[in-house]
Amino acid sequence: MAKFLLLCLLALIGATGLCHQATAESDPGWNIHLDDSQLQPGGLLRIDVDPSQAAAHIDWGEIRVPLVPLTAENRLAAFLGIPRDTKPGPVILQLTVTDRQGREHRHTLPLVIKPREFPVQRLKVPESYVSPDPEILARHQREQAEVRAALAGSRPEQLWRQPFRKPLQGAVSSPFGVQRMFNDQPRSTHSGVDLRAPSGHPVAAAGDGVVILTGDHYFSGRSVYIDHGMGLITMYFHLSEILVENGQSVTAGQIIGRVGSTGRSTGPHLHWGLRVHDCRVDPLALPALFTQ
């Protein structure tokens, strides 16, 4: 269904000298697939093992992510986000697979992160935007605690049954990862993409999932967070109206709210975000993995 650029790492083990510490050669049927089309900062990696083994997990530095069964496919899979500030160059992923006899097989997967340039955007904003007062900061911290609590309840299993899509068709007015300068002072980098659309324009769920948080927050305005399982959470900010409730199941394309300019926003648009196991990556990477 998807235009996956599947790279058979097993085939490369001999060719590239991948460190291979286990007994894979004597285990016919081992196939490790990696979609490497987004090996860049802000990218989204899908790693899968085919056919289904008893259990598997991937380690990348401090991050450990389990592989879970994909519905309708005889595979275990996991998604990994590549942080925006990852330096280009070699990185090592460790894949551990436990077979049905309980034997562990460890693979070292060397990858090369490609360079990616992020633009700089200069904005003139009221001085209060640059130095928010302590009351606002305290409110922001309370809201962030609420967000963290909601994210902690995300589900490990796959909750979607159809490809992901963009929440609306507007042009990108501010891409992921932009270094923002407010009145010439560097601020945090842009954690999602801004999609241009008029106020009131419908906003659709990017994929099937469960609403884990709705709120009206100081910075993000009226917001919806959708858990898609497997560590994938999409976020929709600055809405004028929210049309779903906490705990509600939604399907891809279902209207969940309307475009607005609530919170810290300079005009109507949708800020769309994607978290992958707590790493914020370019949300456009998600539908790209499911493009026909």
Residue number with CB closer to Zn ion (228 or 271): 271
Least distance to Zn ion, CB of residue 270, Å = 8
Shortest spacing between CB 151 and Zn ion, in angstroms: 19
Could you tell me if 82 and 276 are in contact, meaning their C-beta atoms sit under 8 angstroms apart? Answer: no
Nearer to Zn ion among residue 271 and residue 277 (C-beta):
271
Which residue's CB atom is positioned nearest to Zn ion? 271
Q: Using the minimum distance from each CB to Zn ion, give the nearer residue, 48 or 194.
A: 194
Helices first, then strands: H and E counts in the chain = 4, 21
Nearer to Zn ion, 53 or 262 (CB): 262
What are the residues whose beta carbons fall under 8 Å from the beta carbon of 190, sequence distance 6 or more?
121, 174, 175, 176, 177, 178, 180
C-alpha span between 233 and 286 (Å, rounded) = 11
Closest to Zn ion by CB, 54 or 120:
120
Our CB check for Zn ion shows the closer of 33 and 271 to be 271
Nearest to 37 by CA among 72, 4, 85: 4
Report the run of H or E that residue 9 belongs to, with start and end: helix 9-16
Q: Give the residue with the Cβ less far from Zn ion, 163 or 170.
A: 170
CB 271, min distance to Zn ion, A: 3
Q: What CA–CA distance (Å, rounded) separates 226 from 286?
A: 14
Give the C-alpha distances (Å, rounded to integers) separating 55 from 28, 71, 165, 251: 17, 15, 30, 29
Binding site for Zn ion (CB under 5 A): 194, 271
In eight-state DSSP terms, residue 138 is H
As measured in angstroms, the least distance from the Cβ of 289 to Zn ion is 22
Query: What is the largest distance, in Å, between two alpha-carbon atoms of the chain?
Result: 66
Smallest separation, CB 273 to Zn ion (Å): 8
- For residue 42, the minimal CB distance to Zn ion (Å) is 14
For residue 38, the number of C-alpha atoms closer than 13 Å in the C-beta half-sphere is 26
CB of 186 to Zn ion, least distance (A): 16
